Structure formats: C-alpha cells, structure tokens
Amino acid sequence: MNAILQLDAVEQRNRLASGALRAVEVAEAYLAEIERREPEVGAWAWLDGDYVMAQAKALDDYRSRGRAIGALHGLPVGLKDIIDTAGVPTENGTVLDAGRKPTADAFVVKRLRQAGAVIMGKTVTAELALRRPGKTRNPHNPAHTPGGSSSGSAAAVAAGMVPLALGTQTMGSVIRPASYCGVVGYKPTFGAIPRSGVLAQSATLDTLGVFAGSVGAAALLADSLFGHDSADPATALMPAPRLAEIAGAAPPVAPHFAFVASPAWAVAEPAMREGFAELHEALGGHCDEVELPGAFTEAAKLCEIVQLAELAKSYHHYEKRGRDALSPEMQAAIDDGSRILARDYLAARDWQALLNDGLEAIFSRFDAIITPAAPGPAPEGLGSTGSPAFNGLWTFCGTPAITLPLLQADSGLPMGVQLVGRRGDDGRLLRSARWLVQFLSQTD
C-alpha cells in the first residue's frame, strides 16, 4: 500500500501544509486505491480522475505562488450523492434524478472548496436517502451490508479510497454505517452544519455528518463546515466551534461516562452485549450505568412519526413525477407518512424539548452517554441497510453523537461504540471520544 494512505488525514494535512506532500501525490495515491478496491466495494456513484487531478494541480499551483492555504488544503473528500455539486451529477439515488446536474454547489461544498479540499467524487446513497440499498458492499466482507443511507461514504473511507467523506443522518444514516464499516462517524448537533443544497427529507431531523479514520480527522473536517446560513433556518449565528483544537486538547479531568442501555437494548445481539460488558469493566470508575426516564421508551416511534410525515411532504413531487419509478419501500414510506394526522405530528414535535430536558440530568453529571451504535455487526445480506434502533432517539433529540470502531465480533466484523453529548457541546463530546480511544489503547 502507498505510504500516503497509511497516514491519518490530520498527518496528511500537516504534510501538505508544510510542503512535504503535494496535492497531486495524494490524489494519485487515492485514485490508484479506488481502481484497486472499487470493483469489490462499489462505493462511488460518480468519479472522474481528470476532475480530481485538475483540482489537485490547481491547489499545488496556488501554493507555489506563496498564497495562504486553507485548513483542508489538498485533502480529498467524498460527498454523499444527495449533496449538490455544480456541473457534477447529483442523482439522489433515484432514476427520477438520473442525469441531474445542479447549477450551484451546496453550502458545504462551497466551504470545502474554500478550505482547499479536493472534491473526490459522489458516493452511493440509498434511494432518496431512505431504505432501499444502493450497490455498495461492506469492505470487511462483501456479503454483508455497509449500512445506509450513507453507505458509499462510510465504505469509501473504510476501504481507504478517500480519507474523509460527508454523509447525512435523518434516523441513523451516519452512525450505523460507520459502525458496520469500522470507521469514525460523527453526527453533530442538529443545525450545526447548514443543509442548503442537500436533498431535504425531514426538515426537523436531517443532519449532515462526517466520516473519517480518527476523531481528530473528523473534527478537522467538521470545523470547516459549521456555520450560519440564512437559507437554513435550523442554523444560528454562533462563534467558530474550534472543534479540532478542543478535540486535540487533554480534558481537565478524566471524562465520566453514563452507560445507557436505551430502550433498544432488547435488540442488542450477544456480540454487542459481550463487548459492552468488557468495555464497562475496562472503564471501571470512569463509567456508571444510568437509566433513562420512562418517557424515552416512545422516542423511536415519535421520531418515525416526524420523519415519515415530513418525508411525505418533501417527496410528494417525486411521487407526482413518477410514483411507479419509486421502489415499493419508498412508496410505502410516502403512504405511511401521508396517513399521519396533524395532531399526532405536532404532538410528536412537542416531545423533542421534553426529552432534551430529561437528558440534562445526565449531562449535568456525565461528560457523555455511552451506548451501542448498532445492534451488532453488519448483518449478512444486501437487501437491508440494518436497524437504526440505537440511533433514532439521539437524532430526534438533536444531540451530537459519534461512533468509535472499538469492538469486534468473532466474525471479524467491526462494531461501533456510540458516544452522545449534550446538544451544542460538540467539542466536549469529541474531546471525550479521543480520550476514550487513547485510554483503551493503553489498557490493551
């Protein structure tokens, strides 16, 4: 393997910044790895090597003139194929958008370009970012699902075809595929990263997230994306988050974690239960078991009500354009959403603030919640993207969450540990996550 690919994205960035690496060298290394791995993994919906190399050469020319470089200078980034890219196909995983080429970049793509990133290509998504899987397979075992709907982004990073990638989560579409593919997946606080220019499924839940090989790399990428956008009412005018700086700092005291089984614990597989028993033991006094209030047992259902009701509205134009071209799963989701009563939808929305109030009692005592990222390792078969049972609650509450590839099933497939933080306290969550990775590496 090319030595460049063995470097974490943060180290790649540092060498690019110092001049020890050129952007064209990095781009060539990843294009060669894509040529080697893509036939088996199938992570890319659109890729053009000439497009990639043109960007890399332009960045090297820019640097050669002594100009100040961006925070992501020369780093390739994959984009889930629901994120608009000017002049580049963005087909949203549906034949109804086949050949679609947006005329403008999404907010996050503009930010990436400003930071000096190389747009590597578009990664496979489930149909309209919901349930029907795309062509992507799990890099660890192609007979198993990579998860969804950000399957291509998670698999591309896991297979070493790109160091960084963007995805989205409306239920569990960042955290779950990251767990199945064995990479870091970070879903920020709701509204932290603007969504203009991204396929809208659920205005109340849709959240952009990132995939990377380490906590530091995830923080580096997210740092360039946080911000206010007048086109996205979920965002707010806030100071820069300094995520990479905070994540890389030592915590003032060792973090204290709350192990929360959550209402989904009943579906946790034996491998995940055994892994968490060992994790709890390894953490010792750094972790206490905590029960959620009874109201949280309804959270998954409430999240689904909001998601499907808003999906039915958002995707109505697809249904009008060509219902028969949509999968049976998508048709059923639209039909289910259309049947939800306004009173039930509005009542579900009311619960978001109430559940966050219930979490405050935990976050006032603990740095983060620790819980599974998925029921177990990636299920065998490619007909499903797996269960979001351990994700919907946190998406509904809008809390930041991160998957860490810390566990492994007997089959060799990875299993993710999910950390959840207080809404708006993303830096502290990332710092606690980095501490946890280092702590466990010292106890092995």
In sequence order, the β-bridge partners of residue 417 are 372, 404
What DSSP line would sit under 92-140, residue for residue? Answer: TTSGGGTT---SS--HHHHHHHHTT-EEEEEE---GGGSSS--S---TT
> Is the peptide bond prior to 149 cis by the omega test (within 30 degrees of 0)?
yes
Is 80 marked active-site?
Answer: yes
- What share of residues in the chain are helix, strand, coil (percent, to 5)? 45, 15, 40
The residue annotated as part of the active site, out of 150, 173, 214, 314, is: 173
Residue 368 tokens read as 């983060």
- CB within 8 Å of 305: residues ≥ 6 apart: 340, 344, 345, 348
The residue annotated as part of the active site, out of 80, 151, 202, 432, is: 80
Give the separation between CA 151 and CA 214, rounded to whole angstroms: 18
Is 173 marked active-site?
Answer: yes
CB atoms within 10 A of CB 130: 26
CB atoms within 10 A of CB 141: 15
Is 151 marked active-site?
Answer: no
The residue annotated as part of the active site, out of 149, 151, 202, 432, is: 149
Task: Give the 3-state secondary structure of residue 264.
Answer: helix
Catalytic residues: 80, 149, 173
